[in-house]
Structure 1
Amino acid sequence: MKLKGSRDNPLLRRRYRAERRFRTICGGAILLAVAFLVAFFADILNQGLPAFYYTEVKAQITYSQDTVELPPLAVSDKLRPVVSRGVLRVIPQEVEKNPDLLGTTVERWVPAKSDIDQFRKGHTNKLDDDVVQTVHELEQSGRLRTAFNTPFFTNGDSKLPEMAGIWSAAVGSIYLLVLTFLFAFPIGVMTAVYLEEFAPDNRLTQTIEVNINNLAAVPSILFGLLGLAVFINFFGVPRSSALVGGLTIGLMTLPIIIISSRAALRAVPDPIRLGALAMGATRWQVVRDHVLPLSLPGILTGTIIGLAQAIGETAPLIIVGLIAYIPDAPTSITQAATVLPAQVFTWASMPERAYVEKTAAGIVVLLVVLLSMNAAAVLLRRRFERRW
């Protein structure tokens, strides 16, 4: 509200002009940030959405002793430049699992080579004329189609772009999140409870609190070096396993959980503690029956945000070896594994054009997971938060 006579007061006019300039600059900064965010998402979606669809060819697969010994003979000469080599490589395994296939010919839709897929998407023209003619003939006869890329979600990594998927990385990420939660959550919450409710206010406690706050700002790659030195070199945890990855990321997430848990505990009003003590409850009963239940939504919110940050980490996992080539999903926490960010990092270094859209599609999946976890944290906070 302007004061009377402000139009004639040069000092007030300068203040109002400065305020308008500041508000304009702030609004411009917000619009610029939103523009960059929109451009980022638009570029990622533009590159990544084509990866969710791929080219299939309807081929006759012949199972015989000759095709088992030499899989390319399983399809006709005309289709060999079109059908993915990944389909032919599994013929011996299919016959081994089901010997009744020998002597039969099966017609089914199978993935086409990545060059064919990229050609049909308009991303490349590097095909021989006879292959281009074959593609057009197959399209006209209805033996070539665009389908939803189910193998992207059900296959593990592969050297063939059309066969590469995120399944093994997704399983490794689930292992990593579960292990991180099991390691960091109980230790973080118990540490927060002790520091907030029981620890005396002395120099040692203050030093611990300062170090915890400093650890939350340490570059993540240093936690990778710590995990390499402690868990792999000292304790002998298997390298490249989900176990060493979960323990390493757990160390990185621990300060975040401690800080957020202490903030949630501190938000519980003191009259609740005093009332319970006045009724004869012990300090532990006060914490267990009153403080922890009331602060649990805030603790879980901070934990989910910490886990969302953990699932997007790559640098510490590279140090402990979770960037290996993993075609099959791990079946235990001690087997070699990889995670979604590391899988995206690996695909980004591949020279084939098809891996560009695979990389963007992996980023889309990772963003969906991260946004979902952050949305869950927000909903949890709004649903159970109490205002005192």
Structure 2
Amino acid sequence: MTDLSFDQARTAPASQPPRRDIGIKRRYHAERRFRLYGLVAIAIGLFFLGALLFTVIRGGYTAFWQTSISLAVDFDPQIIDPKGQRDSDPGVLVRANYPLLVRNALAAKLGIDVDDTKNKADLRQLSNMISQGARVQLRSMVMENPAILGTTQNIRVLASGDIDSANKGQIDLSVPEARRKVKDRQLEWMKVLDEQGAMTQNFNTGLFTFGASSRPEMAGMGVALIGSLYMMLIVLVLALPIGVAASIYLEEFAPKNRWTDLIEVNINNLAAVPSIVFGLLGLAVFIGFAGLPRSASLVGGLVLTLMTLPTIIIATRAALKAVPPSIRAGALGIGASPMQTVFHHVLPLAAPGILTGTIIGLAQALGETAPLLLIGMVAFVADYPTTPLDPATALPVQIYMWANEAERAFVERTSGAIIILLLFLAAMNLIAILLRRRFERRW
């Protein structure tokens, strides 16, 4: 009886304690909702990023192509130098009516009699089909080689901005002719030129080489690219050594007291100051007090250096802190001085983070517009700057200037310049990532 009871008791199911509701299901549901919120936020961000890129690329890819017309231009001496004074007065070749030569060549291409007085309206429309830059193009050819007078040269000239936009399908031709800049007669001539193979679209090298111009077909980013290059070199030469030196001192040598705490707080605050404040500082100090020239790349570089310094200092200090203390202790233990410890052991290991912070700071400076507007880099500059003291502009400022133009052809150039700027920024960030992965050490 005792054994049976023992066996029954051993095989009997144990009594289950009452379960307590500790909210595990609710926590699992909350975690899944949080993940869903994160995915939705990422999807929204990617959607707007894709919409932005699609809008910019759709409106700007045509800027990399430009319509041109191939013409047989007769350098008629009776038009260029009717009195034969070029030997005694070389300025005759400069003042010649070169647009007339181009207009006559285009009329001959289309079979229009320029001597027919009934075609004056047609002749005006013919002249409007050719860019005003043809004047400079032909004048440069004659000045370089006066022997071409009296000869016929096959030359490719740029079409005007309106003709270029019409050829790219950017003008609504269903609008009545009176409300269009491109007339029906010009459309007929464009069709004839296209059938003859005289009107083609080629890669727009002028977008990267031309300076500022009121004519959209002659406007380019050449001056802006040179100005941005000068400014980035100035920022790199000044901000990198000053920022690294300040970071090393604050992190490795400066005593921890209220003064260094105040400096650190101010550096962090400067990193959050609006960029336009640095423009006001540059206007007051570099231009108003130091007397440096307005619109100069040097002033822009100095202003961007002040703006970039906090970013480089914060990134460099973070990179120095990431080096394990054992590296410092080991170097000091084998007899290295504090200076040798920093420059021979700590700084090389922190170099990837310093390079990353520097490149990110340069990328931030490259895209700034507000401080450059205040120091006058919004000026109309057509000639290349030869030194950082010459007037220049910058790529983001050029985008701002083109965005304010009323001509339709400037819209695509604005988007094209934005594409170039985004490519520069993406390349700089990609270089920062590659350098960090290449030289980074995990502890």
Aligned counterparts of 2:362 and 2:64: Cα–Cα separation in 1:
27
What's 1:312 paired with? 367
Conservation of the 8 A alpha-carbon contact between 2:99 and 2:134: no
Aligned counterparts of 1:21 and 1:274: Cα–Cα separation in 2:
47
What's 2:323 paired with? 268
Aligned counterparts of 1:250 and 1:358: Cα–Cα separation in 2:
29
Conservation of the 8 A alpha-carbon contact between 1:341 and 1:366: yes
Q: Report how far residue 12 of structure 1 moved.
A: 2.8
Give the secondary structure class of the aligned counterpart of 1:146.
strand
Give the secondary structure class of the aligned counterpart of 1:313.
coil
Matched pairs, number: 385
Q: Does 1:114 align with 2:161?
A: yes
Counterpart residue identity of residue 63, structure 2:
A
Conservation of the 8 A alpha-carbon contact between 1:176 and 1:246: yes
1:343 pairs, out of 398, 405, 419, with 398
Q: Deviations over 1:132-179 (max 9, x none)?
A: 111111111111111111111121221111111111111111001000
1:332 pairs, out of 378, 387, 409, with 387
State which structure, 1 or 2, has the greater radius of gyration over its C-alpha atoms: 2
Counterpart residue identity of residue 74, structure 1:
L
Q: Report how far residue 265 of structure 1 moved.
A: 0.9
Aligned counterparts of 1:93 and 1:272: Cα–Cα separation in 2:
65
Which deviates further from its counterpart, 286-295 or 338-347? Answer: 286-295
Q: Report how far residue 328 of structure 1 moved.
A: 1.9
1:84 pairs, out of 131, 134, 148, with 131
What's 2:28 paired with? 16
* Alignment of structure 1 residues 174-253 onto 2, 5 Å: 174-253=229-308
Q: Report how far residue 322 of structure 1 moved.
A: 1.1
Q: Which runs of 5+ in 1 are unaligned?
A: none
Aligned counterparts of 2:156 and 2:98: Cα–Cα separation in 1:
17
What's 1:155 paired with? 210
Q: Does 1:135 align with 2:190?
A: yes
Aligned counterparts of 2:242 and 2:22: Cα–Cα separation in 1:
60
Conservation of the 8 A alpha-carbon contact between 1:55 and 1:112: yes
Q: Report how far residue 233 of structure 1 moved.
A: 0.9
Q: Which runs of 5+ in 2 are unaligned?
A: 1-16, 81-92, 108-125, 174-179
Q: Report how far residue 100 of structure 1 moved.
A: 2.5
The TM-score normalised by the length of structure 1 is: 0.95
Counterpart residue identity of residue 258, structure 1:
I
Counterpart residue identity of residue 59, structure 1:
L
* Alignment of structure 1 residues 11-90 onto 2, 5 Å: 11-65=23-77, 66-67=79-80, 68=93, 69-77=96-104, 78=107, 79-90=126-137
Give the secondary structure class of the aligned counterpart of 1:75.
helix
Q: Report how far residue 64 of structure 1 moved.
A: 4.4
Identity %: 50
Aligned counterparts of 2:20 and 2:327: Cα–Cα separation in 1:
55
The TM-score normalised by the length of structure 2 is: 0.84
Aligned counterparts of 2:147 and 2:130: Cα–Cα separation in 1:
23
Q: Deviations over 1:252-306 (max 9, x none)?
A: 0000000001111111111111111122211111111111111111101100000
Distance 1:15 1:80, change over 3 A: same
Conservation of the 8 A alpha-carbon contact between 1:81 and 1:131: no
